[in-house]
Copies of this chain bind each other. A is one copy, B any other.
Amino acid sequence: MRISALAAEAGLPIATVKFYLREGLLHPGVATSATQATYDDSHLRRLRVIRALTGPVGLSVQQTRMILGLIDDPGDDLYATLGRAVGALPPTVDTRAASDDDPDPFPRARAALEALGQVYDPSFAAVAQLEAALEAVDAAGMPISDDRLLEYGRHLREMAVYDLERMPPEPNAAVEYTVLGTALYEPVLLALRRLAHQDVASRRDLGA
């Protein structure tokens, strides 16, 4: 398969495929001469993952490169790899507070996790993300009550249990499942939540 066929299959301009090659998101094809290389299904699959991550998931090229790098070359510690992957996911939060000698850099997130009975690890990017998100809803005048936090946390935890029970056994497949699942399923989740709100609202005759 030459680059024109690959681009056509993926529904992308050749220039874009070349761009991904240049950026290191797509592994090079097998060179058959100075001006020719052949590509296979692995390239097509990779392009589809790239488009999913840069599209619906909303990652930048840099973030996508990081995620793909983790899948291609995972450490032997799934927990740490997952942590690194989450750190690459938006919304990106500057973790300036953690580097300072602040004894309690993420008070809201800590309180929330304690209330939920979950581990609190300040080095985990999602903790900083949670802190920023909670600060933002407070500042915007729509604070989240403890009760709501518990309710949300309970459901999300059950969903996490469901997900991890279905994790493939082989380590490499597990990393890909976990990292890609975290990122790719988020847009689905958000869409389903919005639709659930719509559905519930419609059944309550809230119009007019």
Q: Which residues of A contact B (CB under 8 A)?
A: 45, 48-49, 51-53, 55-58, 76-80, 82-83, 86, 89-91, 109, 112-113, 118-119, 121, 124, 126-127, 129-130, 132-134, 136-137, 139-142, 144, 148-149, 151-153, 155-164, 166-167, 174, 177-178, 180-182, 184-202, 204, 206-208
Contacts and interface: CB of A to CB of B under 8 A. Distances in A.
A79 B202 contact: yes
A107 B79 CA distance: 36
Q: How many copies does the complex hold?
A: 2
Given A164-B204, A199-B118, A199-B157, A194 B177 contact: no
A47 to B, nearest CB: 9
Given A153-B192, A156-B196, A52 B136 contact: yes
A129 to B, nearest CB: 4
B195 A127 contact: yes
A193 B194 CA distance: 16
B164 A91 contact: no
Given A49-B140, A142-B185, A148-B166, 16 more contacts: A52-B136, A55-B91, A77-B207, A79-B198, A79-B207, A109-B191, A129-B187, A151-B159, A151-B162, A152-B159, A157-B199, A157-B200, A164-B200, A174-B206, A186-B190, A186-B193
A140 B198 contact: no
A202 B119 contact: yes
A161 B58 CA distance: 28
Nearest to A205: B79
A124 to B, nearest CB: 6
Contact of A119 (B55, B109, B198): B198
A198 B124 contact: yes
A151 B53 CA distance: 23
Given A141-B48, A180-B142, A136 B195 contact: no
